[in-house]
Amino acid sequence: MKKYILGLFAVAVVSSCVSQQEKAMKSADKNFILKAANENFAKKKWKNALALYDRLTNLVAGTDDFPNVGFNTAYANYYDKSYKLAGHQFKNFAVNFPKDPRAEEAAYMSALCYYEGSMDYNLDQSTTETAINELQDFLTNYPNSERSKNISQLIDELSYKLEFKAYENARQYFKMGEYKAANVAFENVLEDFPSTKLRPKIYDFIMKSRYELALKSVYDLKDERIESALAYTKLVERELPNTEYSKTATDLKAKLTKEKENFAVVKKQTEARITALTARQKKEADKLAEKNKADQQIKDQISNEKKAMQIQRDSAALQTPPPAATFKIQR
């Protein structure tokens, strides 16, 4: 019986709340709607509160209640995890009511909303970049605020997300065997994030990328790429001594040195073959040139002889007088 009574009481309470929400949604009484909205806000019924605050926007415009409605609406959206909308509303509050005691809080919450709205590192990071800018703006505008104490930590966290995304993109190139692209991408990470905590791993991947490039290089670039890879192994040994990375560097340096020695032998043999081939080609070219020269001489001789014979025929024709004229006598 006791449970039955409690159940009826609960149903009555819910029914009463729903009834009040419905009345407020249909009402044109600003004060009644505001009271119901604030009660929902206090009870953390964010969606109900937002539905009523939305109705109040035009009703309270230009009144003393307008800032409170805007401030509570922003918080309700924040707690409802609509961070982008809440951030926009908090920012508008801070800009439109700079003398309000809550302006600093609104500016902080705006930056915090953008921070909360930052996507996972493997997704689009435009929201992360916006969040960093908003947090830095708060530091600039409120350098002595108590709320500034954790801002730097939040910025570092977001920055790491950006650099980790760039690092992962570069690592994908390496995994796909695109070592030239991987080398460039990892170097860009170091340039864009000079203070990155991932520097040891990035050094390792650049070193391995250059090693793979050297081993798989075409003949004309082999020397250059071996030297580049060797230089990077020495850099890793120097920058990361007594680490797993320096041990890898020492191992790769030995392999690259051996590869350099082997390639020197191949290069010498190749150059010898090229020299011999060039000499043979020159010899054949010289022989062909001699043959062509002899053939041309024969052609020239024949041509000259023909010209001489033609001159003789022309001369004989000039020296021979034309035959005497003959006349027939008519009978």
Question: pLDDT per residue over 143-190, tens digit each?
Answer: 888 888 889 889 999 999 999 999 999 999 999 999 999 999 999 999
Section 45-53 average pLDDT: 91
Summarize pLDDT for 251-277 with one digit per residue, the tens: 999 999 999 888 888 877 777 778 777
Would you place residue 5 in the very low, low, confident or very high pLDDT band (cuts 50, 70, 90)?
very low
The pLDDT score that the predictor gives to residue 78 is 94
Residue with tokens 């982008």: 84
State residue 10's pLDDT score: 47
281 confidence band (pLDDT: 50, 70, 90): confident
Average pLDDT in the 273-294 region?
Answer: 80
Across all residues in the chain, what is the average pLDDT? 85
Is the pTM here over 0.75, yes or no? no
CATH of domain 83-190: 1.25.40.10
Query: Do the Cβ atoms of 70 and 56 come closer than 8 Å?
Result: no
Binned at pLDDT 50, 70 and 90, residue 310 comes out as confident
Q: How confident is the model over 216-238, as pLDDT tens digits?
A: 989 889 999 999 999 999 999 99
Query: For the chain, what are the domain ranges?
Result: 19-80, 83-190
Instruction: Give CB contacts under 8 A, 24+ apart, made by 155-163.
Output: 158/115, 158/118, 158/128, 158/131, 158/132, 159/132, 159/193, 160/197, 161/118, 161/121, 161/125, 161/128, 162/121, 162/125, 162/128, 162/129, 162/132, 162/193, 163/189, 163/192, 163/193, 163/196, 163/198
Q: Examine the pLDDT at 88 and tell me if it is beyond 80.
A: yes
Which pLDDT band holds residue 326 (cuts at 50, 70, 90)? low
